[in-house]
Chain A
Amino acid sequence: AQTVTQSQPEMSVQEAETVTLSCTYDTSENNYYLFWYKQPPSRQMILVIRQEAYKQQNATENRFSVNFQKAAKSFSLKISDSQLGDTAMYFCAFYSNYQLIWGAGTKLIIKP
């Protein structure tokens, strides 16, 4: 069965610092997609970044970047120059065959 594990239930950093959220997954598939979603207190689910498994280059979106290690089945999210608005739950997700498998989430708190 495919699983997604986020080992950090909660993290907090000072504003402007860099923080890395970890995510590992287990699958026998070769073609799949990986995502990081952000859920602020409004509970709106917002796509932060996505990675296609066939691409070796790590995805980046402004201050957000990933470290995708396919052999290790690892997909961490790095947030640079963190801002107060980054405070949210962050979910890692794996997509294959119409199924999106979710991690349990990491609560990220950015302190002023």
Chain B
Amino acid sequence: SQTIHQWPATLVQPVGSPLSLECTVEGTSNPNLYWYRQAAGRGLQLLFYSVGIGQISSEVPQNLSASRPQDRQFILSSKKLLLSDSGFYLCAWSGPAYGYTFGSGTRLTVV
């Protein structure tokens, strides 16, 4: 069966520090991968999606970047965090017949 792992679960980082959130998928090959951000009590905002290794599409211009170094690995990064980067980040993979499967999320607080 397919599983998705996302870590860390919580992260507190100072302004100006770098960021690296990692997501890996098991049990499937060539998945479509996504990074979302969710503000408190709100819906999900798509940040990046990837349909293959090295293929990244950005939906929102921002302080973040994404990379897909391996087929089932998706990384969200920042060189210098801003206060506005605080939020809840969700990684997901999709096959349309099954909808999206989400990781457990990372709560990022920039202080």
Chain A residues engaging chain B, CB cutoff 8 angstroms: 33, 35, 37, 43-47, 50, 89, 91, 93, 95, 98-100, 102-105, 107
CB distance from A84 to the nearest CB of B (A): 20
Would A44 and B102 count as touching, CB distance under 8 A?
Answer: yes
**A residues near B43, Cβ cutoff 8 Å:** 91, 102-105
Would A104 and B88 count as touching, CB distance under 8 A?
Answer: no
**A residues near B30, Cβ cutoff 8 Å:** none
Would A44 and B99 count as touching, CB distance under 8 A?
Answer: no
Would B94 and A45 count as touching, CB distance under 8 A?
Answer: no
**Nearest neighbor of B51 in chain A, beta-carbon distance:** A98
**Nearest neighbor of A96 in chain B, beta-carbon distance:** B96
Q: Tell me the bound Cα distance from A107 to B41 in angstroms.
A: 9
6 tightest A-B CB contacts, nearest first: A45-B102, A102-B43, A47-B99, A104-B43, A102-B44, A35-B99
Q: Tell me the bound Cα distance from A71 to B100 in angstroms.
A: 25
**B residues near A43, Cβ cutoff 8 Å:** 38, 88, 105, 107
- Please tell me if B101 contacts chain A, counting CB pairs below 8 Å: yes
**Nearest neighbor of B40 in chain A, beta-carbon distance:** A43
Contact A100-B46, Cβ < 8 Å, known A33-B99, A43-B105: yes
- Please tell me if B66 contacts chain A, counting CB pairs below 8 Å: no
Scan residues 23-41 of chain B and give those whose CB is less than 8 A from a CB of chain A.
Answer: 32, 34, 38, 41
Would B49 and A98 count as touching, CB distance under 8 A?
Answer: yes
Q: Tell me the bound Cα distance from A91 to B42 in angstroms.
A: 10
CB distance from A65 to the nearest CB of B (A): 16
CB distance from A66 to the nearest CB of B (A): 13
Would B42 and A104 count as touching, CB distance under 8 A?
Answer: yes
